[in-house]
Amino acid sequence: MDGLVVEAVEIARLYARQTPASAPAYQRIKDLVAGEILGGRWREGEALPSESQFVESLGLSRMTINRALRELSADGLLRRVMGVGTFVARRKSSSALAGVHNIADEVRDRGHGYSARVLSLREELPDPEISAQLGLDGRRSAFRSRVVHLEDGAAVQLEDRYVHPDFAPGYLDQDFTAGTPFTFLSEVAPLGKGEHIVEAVLPSAEECEILGIGPSEPCLLIQRRTWSGDAVVSVARLIHPGSRYRLVGTFDAH
């Protein structure tokens, strides 16, 4: 932690600049803090002044300060640690809801470091549901890869992917720490269309261990199928820790 972000006199100066003055005090504090964070002046992991310092510098009640900081925490801008302090929260990684994208590119586009860890890469007989989705005879094997994708060293996705062997020769020979399964499949079986099913789930004990999260942390599960031409090439189950990841979509109403 980097210590206090700003001195008490600076807090008072910033607060006095918040307009309109008729706005509730807690809202003016929220605007002050959000403005400093979103403007990049208060950075991820930095500590904010304590509630007592806010109270002393602004002459407001502790209840007002507490409400503002509590709501900012609920908004995901702050992280409060009991007995330690309040910190600027790590911004959640985002992926576009529409389209199929390479997670390595998304991480690097955010200016962060991407890395991957391969848990397994092998040929195996999928369960009947996966076989049916891939259009395989129930007696045919598929290629399966399990890869953990990391952003600045923190796991943001556990990818469990089955691939139709006819469309991806050489899949089992790839180094998926150097390039993602998405990149390889895009080269050998260009994407025609994709399908997403998104739901909230609680992770299994194994997934908690792999992702480095607690058993009560909700996760985003994306079940994805991708086609090349008229054929399903891969079926993937993508697990994202809810505290580190979000999906963003835009639409045109016309």
Distance of CA 40 to the CA centre of its chain: 20
pLDDT at 227 over 60: yes
Q: How confident is the model at residue 254, as a pLDDT?
A: 47
Q: How confident is the model at residue 247, as a pLDDT?
A: 58
pLDDT at 233 over 90: yes
pLDDT at 249 over 60: no
Residues in the chain: 254
pLDDT at 7 over 90: no
Which residues does 240 contact at the CB level (< 8 Å), separation at least 6? 156, 157, 158, 219, 220, 221, 222
Q: How confident is the model at residue 137, as a pLDDT?
A: 87
Q: How confident is the model at residue 100, as a pLDDT?
A: 66
Q: What is the mean pLDDT of the chain?
A: 85
Residue pair 149/182 in contact by the 8 Å Cβ criterion: no
How many angstroms separate the CA atoms of 24 and 229, rounded?
Answer: 58
Tokens of 150: 């990391």
Looking at residue 127, its amino acid is D
Other CB atoms within 10 Å distance of the CB of residue 64: 19
pTM (2 d.p.): 0.64
Residue pair 176/143 in contact by the 8 Å Cβ criterion: no
Interval 86-144: pLDDT, tens: 888 876 655 545 456 789 988 888 788 999 999 999 999 999 999 999 999 888 999 99
Q: How confident is the model at residue 237, as a pLDDT?
A: 96
Q: Position of tokens 């469990």?
A: 160
Mean pLDDT, residues 70-99: 74
Tokens of 50: 């304590």
Burial class (CB in 10 A: 0-12, 13-18, 19+), 35: middle
Q: How confident is the model at residue 1, as a pLDDT?
A: 44
Q: How confident is the model at residue 92, as a pLDDT?
A: 60
pLDDT at 4 over 60: no
191 — pLDDT class (breaks 50, 70, 90): confident
Interval 158-184: pLDDT, tens: 999 999 999 999 999 999 999 999 999
Least confident among 166-170, 228-232, 249-253: 249-253
Which residues does 237 contact at the CB level (< 8 Å), separation at least 6? 159, 160, 161, 221, 222, 223, 224
How many angstroms separate the CA atoms of 162 and 122, rounded?
Answer: 10
pLDDT > 70 fraction of the chain, expressed in percent and rounded: 87
Tokens of 95: 């992926």
Interval 16-56: pLDDT, tens: 876 666 778 888 888 888 888 777 788 888 888 888 888 98
